[in-house]
Structure 1
């Protein structure tokens, strides 16, 4: 079997990344299906891709055949990363992918039963480490149910990279310089993406943020009024991270007006003085002395952390947290506050001044932090970081390939990963090149067929197949290839289409007919395939008779079947 460039197969069959999770004290465990893992891992990838970070990425997909589900988006990600390494059982041949290294595993390796994503960059790091959960009843591994943890712990990420050894082939590995402020701000964006994902409730994506309980509490109140949301944020930070006091301020001209606080008495307004102004001018968290902002007699802390709230690229206010005495001189307390500020910046409505601009506001992607956390007023700063090293050379993204195979591969990968943004991007590119009829017959139809086959073979879940079906139906409506009636769904989904290979048109039968009646025309006409969209109970009760009579069965939404029938009729 010819495999793309890879390292020698792992000789130590005892290596397991989930052992790191087991060693974590009070580690927040997650128990999710593969659909959720794809969504969670995708958010880490999007951070790297959107910010063009110099990162090493390691993926564990159980088997190389499962990598095909992710090949489209990983190819795009490889254009920005320094390295991408894929681990799995070499059950199929894979075509070489530029910038991607494949490491075949021994069948006895525990990594063959672990799904993981490890991202290591000076500005952002994290790891999703999971293993297949054994069936307690029969002792057989349950498919697509995994347990593990999502962590932003630097030590866990470093140990995972050391165990995998995916950095040993690099002449210049990621150094020790870490920018924790930028790291935590990006985790605030990850939390927002997980909490507002279309499948967040069904897949319980919020439970993956067990390491950030304050962010989970904020997301639970994301639809509340701004004052209530800020009050919940301050209370969650104080409760889960043992902060002495967190006050939310709204900027009003040259002052910061308190909006939410937990103290018995209302805090006084803070002037946007020379000590605080850099936090808004550079959109960076800042340590200040209480005396520099007029709180010397009211605060018992040696320093205050000012984390700016930036909404749609404009200053909105700030979270001001007192530095606990137990963590004086440490950066541990700043991380949760910075992450919460980044999350709130995407949940809060824009300030009135921002609404006067008629142009479309730029989404807040998080501040570009410098290497060190600045200080003001001579206060002892958080541990200083070394100056940032020169960025490594990055490969330019390959030109867009608008061929049908490339578009189909990218759309399939996006739908399998529940990536609505990626799917819409592929669809927009295709709409700019091809007519509506070709989009339905040469893009949506093949992708839906491939998704159905992947579900039957166990490579994707039924939820992914349903998600793709909804996307296909929506796009067909957009291009006007479906009747614009209110009851079109009821009319289409109760039909069974039998397509004949060498004749025009198609037969239409009622979906509630018996299987023998539906299959009778197919038995005599020898169709190349039987396409249908039955109700859920039909899929569960497939009979052996159907499998014997029709050599090839593909279940598709009726909306696609109609387009396929019209396409064959016009052909």
Structure 2
């Protein structure tokens, strides 16, 4: 049986490597464990998949196919429940035939043949276990291997790892169109709970592998922690790790909410009837709410701009509510909401383990129905918008590049694959009306519980079929907009265009907030902002709108794109791309959008803006050493200027960057491409473009 090398990946192994994606992490984020510990961690990750309803993509690296036997029983059990299952390893034996499981051989001595990994990606859970062989002190037995590894929840790492593996197997990377961060937080809390109660917890220091989740570690280190101390640690964890401006934990009993713990910067106080905590009792789901002067929760936490209130459920009953204040006026954009969901889930599991029982709902209190996409539904209900899961149009199967605009407007770049959802940059929602009456109780959805060995979401987060109400009537579905089309893309574009060409900034901002509450930033870019530019440009050419209206619209679109770009963050250690407009080029909307999609796809992006002088390009490349330089041109003069940059880059010493050339000039006049023989002009839809660029970077730099 072929043995993997004992050296680390830094010195041995060629080809794509997942461990390189996390090698930049500090020492306190990494750990060293034997193969037995990795088996436990692998089972925890794959234990999530049975409830994913065919939306999970699972990739496993087993070093070599003969070691797949350690995973085989589990993978055989869950393969039919996944969208795809792919196994990577050295082909030292003939792999078994399992429906819906693809085996991808890797070369002996390749980097992937020295890595143990489990990559799980779905709309409601994503994560990666990535480890590299460092020693084989006991010889040949697979379980005697020792690994340096990382357990990560970072969606950017998961996305980039999926792209690298797609290159290895020669097929497009599966894409996740939208993500539920609340469900993600809940799942990781349950994984942490299972690891803390595993028989091998102490021998392998399993909790030490969760160093990316210090808030959960904080609650799980001491199994004998008294309940009052446990509750105190929950509220303090929100303060320490999730930027909460204050937090309070209430216990629900006798129809009242009694404060049992408050963060160190607050005094304990009862919940006011108008508070978000009581709204949880009334509605049976998480509440996200922007605060106004005089709001009961604003009085409790004067510095807070918004609050999140999360139910703590035990056995389907309400035990209490976790309330936290946030500095961001947009209640859905703060990390506090995700942290509160994870901590509330973990607290519920610990209390259940200790035999604590929740009180039955009082009259007028909701019975905590299944509510679907937790963050989106809670935000949509609070703002008076329809639930995305109920009334938003279905996501398109990919993000095709929009049609070429008229010459007055440079187009967005040809597209990039739908990346993981970036950090929210959404503005605050509109004012909130009084909470709606409690919804009727719903029975749990059939099959809502996970399959054997899996986890399930709390009842208020799980999707469920509407069940008959107690009186025989059918429970009401979430309300749809009165005209049935208010939130479709054509309707949103028409409303936005009408507002902008009439210089109605207030209405445009209102439509923007509504759109942000329903759709992901990628979809907003490709389905609203880019087509809006085209529609206004066409109207200008027809003489239907003025030059001033066109400029007002362009400035609005540009501002929103820059807001998204400034709110996003580059992946440390990812390939570097420098993006801008070539000398003399002032139209930058296409370049900004290119920067966004590159950054969301895992690149480090340096955006240079309009009219980058040719004289600065060479010095910039020498200083940054980027893998990609991408410039945009919409006129013949700008294309000629870009040609000078191409000659400059070609004359530089190797390795010089890949030169990407884009803009309407090359679309309207393809002959201009001959001016830059060393330039790359990517084409196709978003997914193919991202795969092309990733492949180019991989082929040149590995």
> What do residues 448-494 of structure 1 show as CA deviations (whole Å, max 9, x unaligned)?
xxxxxxxxxxxxxxxxxxxxxxxxxxxxxxxxxxxxxxxxxxxxxxx
What is the aligned partner in structure 2 of residue 334 from structure 1? 337
What SS does structure 2 have at the residue aligned with 1:248?
strand
Question: How does 1:8-87 map onto structure 2 within 5 Å?
Answer: 13-24=14-25, 28-52=29-53, 54-87=55-88
Distance 1:125 1:281, change over 3 A: farther
What's the offset of the Cα at 1:285?
A: 2.7
Q: Distance in 2 between matches of 1:50 and 1:391?
A: 23
Distance 1:341 1:135, change over 3 A: same
Distance 1:102 1:366, change over 3 A: farther
What's the offset of the Cα at 1:225?
A: 2.5
> What do residues 402-453 of structure 1 show as CA deviations (whole Å, max 9, x unaligned)?
xxxxxxxxxxxxxxxxxxx869xxxxxxxxxxxxxxxxxxxxxxxxxxxxxx
Q: Distance in 1 between matches of 2:255 and 2:289?
A: 17
Question: Residue 122 of structure 1 contacts residue 175 of structure 1 at CA under 8 Å; is this kept in 2?
Answer: yes
> What do residues 375-398 of structure 1 show as CA deviations (whole Å, max 9, x unaligned)?
4897799x9899595899xxxxxx
Q: Distance in 1 between matches of 2:283 and 2:52?
A: 18
What is the aligned partner in structure 2 of residue 295 from structure 1? 297
What's the offset of the Cα at 1:226?
A: 2.1
Within the alignment, does 1:312 sit opposite 2:323 as a pair? no
> What do residues 349-381 of structure 1 show as CA deviations (whole Å, max 9, x unaligned)?
46555599xxxxxxx999753471424897799
Distance 1:280 1:83, change over 3 A: farther
Question: Residue 371 of structure 1 contacts residue 388 of structure 1 at CA under 8 Å; is this kept in 2?
Answer: no
Question: Residue 245 of structure 2 contacts residue 324 of structure 2 at CA under 8 Å; is this kept in 1?
Answer: yes
What is the aligned partner in structure 1 of residue 373 from structure 2? 369
* RMSD of equivalent CA atoms: 3.9
Within the alignment, does 1:238 sit opposite 2:239 as a pair? yes
What is the aligned partner in structure 2 of residue 129 from structure 1? 130
Q: Distance in 1 between matches of 2:375 and 2:318?
A: 22
> What do residues 333-360 of structure 1 show as CA deviations (whole Å, max 9, x unaligned)?
322221111111111146555599xxxx
Question: How does 1:126-275 map onto structure 2 within 5 Å?
Answer: 126-134=127-135, 143-165=144-166, 173-263=174-264, 266-271=267-272, 273=274, 275=276
What's the offset of the Cα at 1:290?
A: 4.6
Q: Distance in 1 between matches of 2:133 and 2:276?
A: 52
Question: Residue 58 of structure 1 contacts residue 166 of structure 1 at CA under 8 Å; is this kept in 2?
Answer: no
Question: Residue 18 of structure 2 contacts residue 161 of structure 2 at CA under 8 Å; is this kept in 1?
Answer: yes
**Structure 2, gaps ≥5 residues long:** 1-12, 362-367, 398-451, 455-702
Taking structure 1 as the reference length, what is the TM-score of the superposition? 0.58
Question: Residue 255 of structure 1 contacts residue 269 of structure 1 at CA under 8 Å; is this kept in 2?
Answer: no
Question: Residue 18 of structure 2 contacts residue 112 of structure 2 at CA under 8 Å; is this kept in 1?
Answer: yes
Distance 1:40 1:106, change over 3 A: same
What's the offset of the Cα at 1:142?
A: 11
Distance 1:376 1:254, change over 3 A: farther
Taking structure 2 as the reference length, what is the TM-score of the superposition? 0.48
Q: Distance in 2 between matches of 1:293 and 1:376?
A: 20
What's the offset of the Cα at 1:143?
A: 4.4
Question: Residue 54 of structure 1 contacts residue 82 of structure 1 at CA under 8 Å; is this kept in 2?
Answer: yes
Question: Residue 60 of structure 1 contacts residue 87 of structure 1 at CA under 8 Å; is this kept in 2?
Answer: yes
What SS does structure 1 have at the residue aligned with 2:48?
helix
Distance 1:85 1:280, change over 3 A: farther
**Structure 1, gaps ≥5 residues long:** 1-11, 357-363, 393-420, 424-571
